[in-house]
Structure 1
Amino acid sequence: MIAKQWKELKLKGELHVLEETVIQGNRLAQFYQNTLVSFFILFLLIPLISPILDIIHPLNETRARQQLLRVNYIFFNNDDYYFCVYLHLLWGAIVVVFTAVGADWLYILIIHHNSGLFAVCGYQVQKVTANPNYSSYGILVENERYKKFRACILMHKEAIRYYNLLNECSQGSYLIQVGLNMLGMSATAVQTVININKPEEAMRSALFCGASQFHLFLLSLPGQVLLDNCHSLAANMYIPIKDSNKVHYTYQDRYNSAWYAIPVKIQKLLYVMQIRCKKLCSLTAGGLYDMNIENFGIERSK
């Protein structure tokens, strides 16, 4: 669907609107990757503090060492093969984290593509309703405008169909991720408090808790972007603003589109579109939790 929509918009000369939204999503995904990897690197370095101090500032006895995770290999003592176990856990952690980052990156782009479809729809409506002095054009031009507005309706329908598929596919995944995130944040917060007298253990738990909160935030933010773009289509129109260097787009009041001057039959189509836009396109976690910033703030405060 993405490839088909991308190709169609390119032929219509409207790809720049979608592309702008997708580029914003790509920047968000890049920020997500850099931040989560930074948390991950700190998490990996904490178990190495004791071995490094044994070299820099040795004591008469070996300092207590902790692994990345608490594991039991049964067939041998973990302390006797500390670095081998560390490398094994390091490799497993890298596979898990970068798999999650790659999947989330792709998902962020998919959601922003859906948001871009709503932006394209608004841009199409603005173009159709621009300069609506039909009295000087004639019936043929009016019919041509009507056909173009029908194309806007079809684009809106396509965006909603895309959202329905996206929400259907993501509900189960979001439910699992949000559930695990909340459990992880609660457990690591308790561990941080319990191990407050053990700096290394407390720091590791605090990092894990912070990374879990950040992950939940990045799961909620794309859903908020989709929600905003869907809502703005009913309340606003996408208006091109030109400056000396480039053309950029911003949301303006819908009355700037002069919708009131277009023929009645087109106004009726516009009205139907606005009615559908009142039903917001909100991604959910199993239908129990809406993926948006407001709910993230509520859960974080808990």
Structure 2
Amino acid sequence: MKKYATNAKLITFAYLIYVFSCCGGYTLFSIIPKLLNIVLPLNESRPVNLPYQAYYFVDKDKYYFYIIFYVCVFGSVATMMVIAHDCIFFIYIEHVCSLFAVTGFHLETLSFNNHNDTNNRLDDRKIYNRKIAISIHAHWRALRFADILDDIFCTAFAIQMSIVTVTLSITLLQVALLYGEINETLKYLAFIFAQVIHTFCFSIQGQRLIDHSSQLSDKIYNSSWYEVPAESRRLLLFMMRRSVQPCFLSAGKIYVFSLKSFSTVNVIYEIYVFTKFMLLYAPMKFLLRILALILKVMQSSVSYFTVLASFQ
């Protein structure tokens, strides 16, 4: 379980850096024109834009840095709340995966008798029954934890996916309305990629849960089950039957977080279609061709990764 604890630490740290980098870069797009007016002034001031459209009942040019300070503080607090929620989710996923891994280890070592079992002079049937009972209890704990995890995050993920869908639609509309403004277009396109990668992070964690919960039947089959007495083998059938139905995490019992769902999600297709439509305009042709290529490569890579993961 130390391995999974280390994985959880690395995942949360990488996610923390990623989120703050995205938020900082998004805010930096709005600050750059103001900084250039100070460092490299022109005959006329460059247009100043806020990170998001809002009205603070003051002159935004005069109080620009005060507004940016407020945006940074408010954004940092909101970002930390999101990071705390997501990191707790990642840690829980790693924990439940470790429970399934421990169960698989018990099943793979059924035929190994330790010295304590020999000294107790128990017959083989009782030894195997006790080991299988320990494995079944560990499996039950993992399944129960996975069900509790799905019940806790199901509603929150449904709300979150609804917000992501709405924000992506609004962002695409903003890109269409701001045609010709390269800086604003890049800012909104970066936001789109951040949302897609954010969904990918949840999908890959959901895929890990599916893989770990469904691999128990393979571990039972690959173990020395033929050395187990016939009466004890029947106990393993119940675990194999249950492992055929993998555990998963869903958003409102509608969207299942997995690499397969992510690779076929409609929002990627909508972004790609929108990109192909925007390719008709010459000023953004090169940029949007790169965007279309990246989206297709991302979708193909996830599809191939899903196929390869099924052979593990």
Superposition TM-score tier, normalisation by shorter sequence: 0.7 to 0.9
The answer for the alignment partner of 2:269 in structure 1 is 301
| CA distance in 2: counterparts of 1:204 and 1:35, whole angstroms | 16
| CA distance in 2: counterparts of 1:160 and 1:287, whole angstroms | 17
| CA distance in 2: counterparts of 1:51 and 1:69, whole angstroms | 15
Structure 2 residue aligned with 1:36, among 16, 19, 27? 19
The answer for the alignment partner of 2:244 in structure 1 is 278
| CA distance in 2: counterparts of 1:45 and 1:301, whole angstroms | 29
- Label 1:215 to 1:33 Cα distance change in 2 as closer, same or farther (>3 A): same
Structure 1 residue aligned with 2:97, among 112, 115, 118? 115
| CA distance in 2: counterparts of 1:229 and 1:24, whole angstroms | 15
The answer for the alignment partner of 1:63 in structure 2 is 46
The answer for the alignment partner of 1:178 in structure 2 is 161
| CA distance in 1: counterparts of 2:239 and 2:61, whole angstroms | 66
| CA distance in 1: counterparts of 2:269 and 2:12, whole angstroms | 25
| CA distance in 2: counterparts of 1:81 and 1:56, whole angstroms | 18
Please list the CA deviations of residues 99-150 of structure 1 after superposition, one character each: whole Å capped at 9, or x if unmatched: 2112211110101111111110010111123479x9xx97535413321210
The answer for the alignment partner of 1:158 in structure 2 is 141
Task: State yes or no: 1:290 paired with 2:253.
Answer: no
| CA distance in 2: counterparts of 1:20 and 1:159, whole angstroms | 17
1:91-102 map, 5 Å: 91-102=73-84
The answer for the alignment partner of 2:188 in structure 1 is 205
Preserved CA contact (<8 Å) 1:118 1:156: yes
SS of 2:16's equivalent? helix
SS of 1:78's equivalent? coil
- What code does the residue aligned with 1:118 have? F
The answer for the alignment partner of 1:84 in structure 2 is 66
1:186-225 map, 5 Å: 186-225=169-208
Work out the percentage of aligned pairs sharing the same amino acid: 23
| CA distance in 1: counterparts of 2:67 and 2:192, whole angstroms | 24
- Select between 191-200 and 219-228 the one with higher mean Cα deviation: 191-200
- Select between 101-110 and 224-233 the one with higher mean Cα deviation: 101-110
Preserved CA contact (<8 Å) 1:69 1:89: no
| CA distance in 1: counterparts of 2:179 and 2:76, whole angstroms | 27
Q: Which runs of 5+ in 1 are unaligned?
A: 1-17, 238-253
Alignment root-mean-square deviation, CA: 2.1
| CA distance in 1: counterparts of 2:264 and 2:191, whole angstroms | 20
| CA distance in 1: counterparts of 2:132 and 2:56, whole angstroms | 66
Return the offset for 1:24.
Answer: 2.0
State the TM-score, normalizing by the size of structure 1: 0.82
Q: Using CA pairs below 8 Å that are at least 6 residues apart, which structure has the higher relative contact order? A: 1
- Select between 77-86 and 110-119 the one with higher mean Cα deviation: 77-86
The aligned length equals: 264
Preserved CA contact (<8 Å) 1:25 1:108: yes
Task: State yes or no: 1:148 paired with 2:143.
Answer: no
| CA distance in 2: counterparts of 1:119 and 1:172, whole angstroms | 28
Q: More strand per residue: 1 or 2? A: 1
| CA distance in 2: counterparts of 1:262 and 1:165, whole angstroms | 33
- Select between 35-44 and 210-219 the one with higher mean Cα deviation: 35-44
| CA distance in 2: counterparts of 1:225 and 1:275, whole angstroms | 20
| CA distance in 2: counterparts of 1:139 and 1:263, whole angstroms | 14
Return the offset for 1:222.
Answer: 1.0
- What code does the residue aligned with 1:219 have? F
The answer for the alignment partner of 1:260 in structure 2 is 226
Return the offset for 1:30.
Answer: 2.1
- What code does the residue aligned with 2:99 have? L
State the TM-score, normalizing by the size of structure 2: 0.79
| CA distance in 1: counterparts of 2:122 and 2:45, whole angstroms | 91
